Amino acid sequence: MEREEKVVLEMNALEQGVVVRALNDLRNDLIHEKRPTDFVEEILLKTIDAPKKQKKGRRHEER
């Protein structure tokens, strides 16, 4: 069995919100049309739960 290649997208919080909103709208349309939503729901959850990338650099902590 061949492994699928993964694609990584970097986006800020605003862009992520737009993608989540678009996927949710698509999911709602599919529900209205009584069509399966499994694939869209899977992508929607991956988008919502995507790990946050930590900023590089030193943190300055007060002592």
Model confidence pLDDT, tens digit, residues 35-46? 999 999 999 999
Domain count along the chain: 1
CA distances to 2, 56, 60, 62, 63 from 21, rounded to whole Å, are: 33, 29, 36, 39, 42
Domain that holds residue 22: 13-48
**Position 59 in a domain:** no
**Position 55 in a domain:** no
pLDDT tens digits, one per residue of 20-35: 999 999 999 999 999 9
**Position 37 in a domain:** yes
Higher pLDDT, 2 or 48: 48
